[in-house]
């Protein structure tokens, strides 16, 4: 049987693409190695922009995610500062006349809402299917997979790889290893966070506190060796160091206070690299989400780019005659459509790390100046807020 589209990997990005096509005439299936009701690689906090919210609203699942207690936390204020240097910028949703500057969303809750919406639409994900490879033929592609020890094959005009990057390797990808890890976890503050997110640039790398339900999700970028030490410290010692390294952060009343914490949970590290495919299309193939680009979490751009990959692919396929799906022309159109957004997201994230992530004391002064100007100039604030809301384009 020839499908129109086989989506490999129904994580949040693949499932978004499947849902965006659920009402169409197209024959679309989504395959995932995970079991029904499970998620890949544990829960985490996704930084969602207002633009991604609008897409999820259009697909009718924002309200489902929001119905889950603490699954979505609005970011009302973003405070940016640097350790050991002057300059501080503070962005406020009310100042920009917006309900929020962005959202922290639980991966588990988002995935559950997407899975349920697809099942309701009669387009349920085929679970437990481990894809081994994709081979192009002139008129279609063959997806080779296994399930319960048996081999399977699917043929499709087009295959969308949204597997998080597990199947795409090698010379078609560029990789920059930041030689750092992100230590992530949850901390419970003594005082309520009031929707304030704090980003602090330190000589070790950026640190962030993201409001999430009744606690903060934290991201601490550091060397792999120190990450291991921090991960295995006692809770008490870790909280003391986190507090010390973070330093003062704004509270909602705009007074700088050092946040203090009661409890820490779920400390984990993962390596940080920028990895992206030179081309997001191949023969009968498109790449989406982390399979197309894996970014440093510093600017919260990665997942939002993936949501736009999925939505834009669906929009492209909805206006493509069925027998042109997967053709060179259709693939070239999709690649052109995604190029500016991808390059801007990759360039912005990598550039930000070049200026703010480096341990170069001579950069402290220009960094401080940049933060002071950002704070003082309404036009700069609006541009930065726009980048947070809709991504850099
Ligand atoms: C440990 C960790 C922490 C993170 N923390 C943050 C954070 O704090 N904030 C943030 O914004 N982003 C974070 N990210 C990044 C974020 O998770 C990704 O941007 C997002 O998950 C990308 O979605 P995706 O659907 O492209 O890929 P994934 O979420 O990786 O989903 C891929 C899907 O494909 C399936 N799959 C994989 N291989 C196969 C195969 N061979 N056959 C069949 N199915 C397959 C998997 O089961 C999974 O369901 C983190 C990532 C990791 C790994």
Residue to substitute in 40, 105, 212, 286 for testing ligand 1 pocket (most ligand atoms within 8 angstroms of CB): 40
Most confident of 10-24, 29-43, 263-277: 10-24
Average pLDDT on 336-361 reads: 77
Q: What is the whole-number distance in angstroms between the Cα of residue 164 and the centre of ligand 1?
A: 5
Average pLDDT on 309-326 reads: 97
Tell me if 12 sits within 8 A of 306, measured CB to CB.
Answer: yes
Average pLDDT on 304-326 reads: 97
Q: What is the whole-number distance in angstroms between the Cα of residue 48 and the centre of ligand 1?
A: 14
Average pLDDT on 338-343 reads: 91
Is residue 275 predicted with pLDDT exceeding 70? Answer: yes
252 pLDDT tier (thresholds 50, 70, 90) = very low
Distance CA(393)–CA(389), nearest Å, equals: 11
Higher pLDDT, 370 or 39: 39
Is residue 354 predicted with pLDDT exceeding 80? Answer: no
Q: Whose CA is nearest to atom 41 of ligand 1?
A: 131
Residue to substitute in 163, 186, 208, 287 for testing ligand 1 pocket (most ligand atoms within 8 angstroms of CB): 163
Structure tokens given for 175: 């990789």
Distance CA(112)–CA(114), nearest Å, equals: 6
- Provide the pLDDT for residue 281: 95
Tell me if 75 sits within 8 A of 212, measured CB to CB.
Answer: no
- Provide the pLDDT for residue 84: 62
Q: What is the whole-number distance in angstroms between the Cα of residue 347 and the centre of ligand 1?
A: 21
Among 69-73, 194-198, 246-250, 286-290, the range scoring the smallest mean pLDDT is 246-250
Among 25-29, 43-47, 266-270, 336-340, the range scoring the smallest mean pLDDT is 43-47
CB burial of residue 151 (10 Å; 0-12, 13-18, 19+)? exposed
Q: What is the whole-number distance in angstroms between the Cα of residue 79 and the centre of ligand 1?
A: 27
Average pLDDT on 181-208 reads: 89
Average pLDDT on 375-393 reads: 63
Is residue 34 predicted with pLDDT exceeding 90? Answer: yes
- Provide the pLDDT for residue 97: 79
Distance CA(206)–CA(182), nearest Å, equals: 9
Among 255-264, 279-288, 368-377, the range scoring the smallest mean pLDDT is 368-377
Q: What is the whole-number distance in angstroms between the Cα of residue 338 and the centre of ligand 1?
A: 20
Tell me if 180 sits within 8 A of 265, measured CB to CB.
Answer: no
309 pLDDT tier (thresholds 50, 70, 90) = very high
Q: What is the whole-number distance in angstroms between the Cα of residue 267 and the centre of ligand 1?
A: 18
Average pLDDT on 95-115 reads: 91
- Provide the pLDDT for residue 98: 81
Q: What is the whole-number distance in angstroms between the Cα of residue 167 and the centre of ligand 1?
A: 13
Q: Whose CA is nearest to atom 11 of ligand 1?
A: 46
Is residue 314 predicted with pLDDT exceeding 50? Answer: yes
240 pLDDT tier (thresholds 50, 70, 90) = very high
78 pLDDT tier (thresholds 50, 70, 90) = confident
Percent of the chain predicted with pLDDT > 90: 59
Q: What is the whole-number distance in angstroms between the Cα of residue 45 and the centre of ligand 1?
A: 11
Among 62-76, 189-203, 207-221, the range scoring the smallest mean pLDDT is 189-203
Sign of the C-alpha dihedral, residues 168, 353, 185, 94? negative
Q: Whose CA is nearest to atom 49 of ligand 1?
A: 11
DSSP-derived secondary structure letter, 361? G
- Provide the pLDDT for residue 355: 63
Q: What is the whole-number distance in angstroms between the Cα of residue 40 and the centre of ligand 1?
A: 7
Most confident of 17-26, 46-55, 79-88, 243-252: 17-26
Is residue 175 predicted with pLDDT exceeding 90? Answer: no
Q: Whose CA is nearest to atom 8 of ligand 1?
A: 45
Q: Whose CA is nearest to atom 18 of ligand 1?
A: 303
- Provide the pLDDT for residue 40: 84
Distance CA(375)–CA(123), nearest Å, equals: 47
Residue to substitute in 7, 11, 277 for testing ligand 1 pocket (most ligand atoms within 8 angstroms of CB): 11
| Ligand 1 site residues, Cβ closer than 6 angstroms | 8-14, 31-34, 40-41, 44-47, 129-131, 162-164, 166-167, 184, 270, 289-290, 297, 300, 302-303, 306
DSSP secondary structure letters along 71-95:
SEEEE-EEEEEETTS--EEEEETTT
Average pLDDT on 367-383 reads: 64
């Amino acid at each position: 049987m020839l499908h129109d589209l086989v989506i490999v990997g129904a994580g949040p990005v693949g499932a978004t693409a499947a849902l965006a096509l659920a009402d169409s005439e197209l024959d679309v299936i989504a395959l995932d190695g995970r079991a029904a009701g499970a998620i890949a690689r544990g829960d985490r906090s996704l930084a969602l922009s207002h633009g991604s919210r609008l897409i999820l609203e259009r697909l009718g699942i924002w309200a489902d995610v929001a119905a889950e207690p603490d699954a979505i936390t609005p970011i009302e204020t973003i405070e940016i500062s640097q350790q050991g240097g002057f300059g501080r910028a503070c962005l406020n949703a009310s100042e920009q006349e917006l309900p929020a500057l962005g959202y922290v969303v639980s991966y588990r809750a988002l995935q559950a809402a997407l899975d349920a919406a697809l099942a309701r639409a009669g387009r349920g994900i085929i679970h437990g299917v481990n894809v081994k490879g994709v081979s192009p033929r002139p008129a279609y592609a063959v997806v080779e997979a296994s399930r319960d020890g048996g081999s399977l094959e699917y043929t499709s005009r087009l295959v969308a790889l949204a597997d998080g990057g597990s199947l795409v390797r090698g010379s078609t990808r560029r990789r920059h290893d930041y030689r750092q890890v992100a230590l992530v976890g949850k901390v419970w503050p003594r005082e309520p966070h009031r929707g304030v997110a704090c980003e602090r640039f330190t000589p070790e790398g950026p640190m962030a506190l993201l409001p999430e339900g009744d606690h903060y999700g934290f991201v601490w970028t550091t060397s792999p060796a120190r990450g291991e030490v921090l991960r295995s410290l006692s809770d008490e010692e870790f909280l003391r160091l986190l507090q010390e390294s973070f330093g003062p952060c704004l509270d909602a009343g705009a007074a700088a206070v050092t946040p203090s914490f009661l409890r820490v949970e779920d400390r984990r590290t993962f390596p940080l690299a920028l990895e992206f495919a030179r081309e997001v299309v191949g023969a009968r193939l498109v790449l989406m989400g982390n399979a197309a680009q894996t970014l440093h979490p510093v600017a919260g751009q990665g997942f939002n780019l993936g949501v736009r990959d999925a939505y834009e692919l669906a929009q492209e396929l909805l206006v493509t005659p069925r027998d042109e799906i997967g053709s060179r022309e259709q693939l070239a159109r999709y690649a052109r459509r995604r190029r500016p957004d991808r390059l801007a997201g990759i360039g912005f994230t990598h550039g930000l790390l070049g200026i703010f992530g480096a341990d170069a004391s001579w950069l402290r002064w220009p960094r401080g100046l940049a933060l002071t100007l950002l704070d003082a100039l309404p036009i700069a604030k609006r541009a930065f807020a726009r980048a947070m809301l809709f991504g850099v384009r």
